[in-house]
Structure formats: C-alpha cells, structure tokens
Structure 1
Amino acid sequence: MTESNSPLDQPTRADFEIAAQAVIARIPARLREELAEVTVRIEEFATAEQLESVEIETRWELTGLYEGTPLPERSLWDEPSLPPVITLFRQPLLREMEETGVGFEELVRHVVIHEAGHHFGFSDDDMHALEAMVED
C-alpha cells in the first residue's frame, strides 16, 4: 500500500478480505478451527440496524462487528441459525487509518481479532493476548 491519500491508492474491499483472511490464518490452529464457520464480510458502512444493535449513532464510528451467538452461549438444544459473521466496515477503517496513522495490516489485525474474540466470548485481556500471538 502506498501512503497517498488518493482514493485509487486506498485498500480495496479485496485488499481487506485478503488481509482479514491472513489474520485468521495466523490464529492458533485450535482457535482457527472454531472460526471455520464464521463468514467474513467487507462492507462500506454498517447498516442502521447494525448501528442500533451496538448503540452507535454514526456510521463512521463502527469499524467492525461480530453478529452471531458466541460459542460459550451455545447449546446443543439451540435451533439452527445463520452462521456467525464478522463484518469489517471499509470507510470507517480507512478514516481511522488516516486519523491515527495506524497501518493497514495492523488495523485489520486488531479489528479481526477483536471481533473473533466476541465469537469466543473472550475478555478484553484475552483479545489482547490473542492479538499478541498473531502479530508478525
């Protein structure tokens, strides 16, 4: 990635998808297996319903979202449901990169690990430990 502010030089949806999958590939195998059912999506912005679900008012504030039932809350008796989804919101992430100077891969890693942490029911400390394991 170049450091230019030109929209042509910004990471594309495909770039985000590749970066997110690279993060997942570096997660320890025992946890990565549990993520096999999770779909990763890249959207430009969160929908109004997604924003409301996390009590965020502006679409620029939400960079990622886990939607699904965390593993610790599941039961064998649960009705089948849609697979869990981790969504990265491209425009808010691009804005955060510009405002903070955090690099593309680092920011994607942070958001993917955070949202995957919700899937596992991890605490913030657990998420930080997992992120440290996945760092280059």
Structure 2
Amino acid sequence: MSAQWMHAKSPSLADFEILVATAWESLPAEFRELANDVVIRVEEFATTEVLESLGIEDQFELTGLYQGVSLDRQSLSDVAREPEMVFLYRRPILDEWASGEEELGHLVAHVLIHEIGHHFGFSDEDMEAIEELAASEGTGATDA
C-alpha cells in the first residue's frame, strides 16, 4: 500500500455535500430552475423502512432515491403532500467509487441527475443527455 493512502480518509458528509452542490451547479440552468423546489439531502444510508419498501436487502445497493410524485403524474387537484426530495447516500456511493470505475465527482453527478430525472419523469436516455450536457459545461463537477 502506498504511504500516501495509509492515512487517507473518505470524504465526510460535509465534503460530500460540497460535491453534490458542485454537481448541482454543473447542471443546465433550465434543469436547475425547473427542479429548484426539490429538496436534496445527503445521508449515510437509506433507512431500513425505505430499503424494505423497495425490497432491497443490502444497504450498499441504493445510492440515491427520488421521493415524491413526478411532474408527469402530478395534477392540479392533488392534495398537499410532502416536498419532493432527492436523497444521495454517501456510503453506497463511496463503495461504488471504491471499485475504481468512475471518478467520485462524476458518480455523484450521475446519481443526482438520475434521481432528479425521476422528478421530471425522464427516461434513461433523457438523463444521459443531461449528464452529457452537464459534463460539457466544463465546470469539473463530473470530472472531479
């Protein structure tokens, strides 16, 4: 093991929130404006209740979650509900990052875009196009 890694620590929750904010800023302005009412939270893991409701046994399998009713399914006659929320789960994302296949900033941006995409009811292809646009903005969020 390299000496430089002997005392290395994974990004803290606060560090991770900075990565998420950077990824948010790399998104196209129109996308951010339309998703401005979505609350973004960073947590260590999904709750046991969330994992059970999704039929997930391994807490490391869920990197992010959109909680709400997507815009394509909302109606003006809907009763008041809880705010639309996106959760990014730090430990599962770090676990995936540790596999060495993606840069951490890119992975965080990918999960963020995917979960916000659920808010809009976007397809996977739509989300990939937004991710490519965010990467081309050159802010570094997807290259960190």
1:22 aligned to 2:22?
yes
Residue in 2 that maps onto 1:131: 131
Identity fraction in percent: 44
Gapped regions of structure 1 (runs ≥ 5): none
Q: Secondary structure at the match of 1:57?
A: coil
What RMSD in Å do the two structures reach over aligned CA positions? 1.7
TM-superposition CA deviations, 1:27-70 (whole Å, max 9, x none): 22222112111111111111122113332221011011110111
What is the deviation of 1:5? 6.8
CA–CA separation in structure 2 for the residues paired with 1:106 and 1:113: 10
Residue in 2 that maps onto 1:48: 48
CA–CA separation in structure 2 for the residues paired with 1:22 and 1:73: 29
TM-superposition CA deviations, 1:83-121 (whole Å, max 9, x none): 111111111111111123421101101100110110110
TM-score w.r.t. the length of structure 1 is 0.89
- Size of the alignment, in residue pairs? 133
Counterpart residue type for residue 68 of structure 1: G
| 1:1-136 to 2 correspondences below 5 Å | 4=5, 6=7, 9-135=9-135, 136=138
CA–CA separation in structure 2 for the residues paired with 1:117 and 1:54: 19
Gapped regions of structure 2 (runs ≥ 5): 139-144
Counterpart residue type for residue 125 of structure 1: E
Query: Which structure has the larger Rg over C-alpha atoms?
Result: 2
Deviates more, 1:43-52 or 1:114-123: 43-52
Q: Pick closer, same or farther for the CA change 1:113–1:5 going to 2, 3 Å.
A: farther
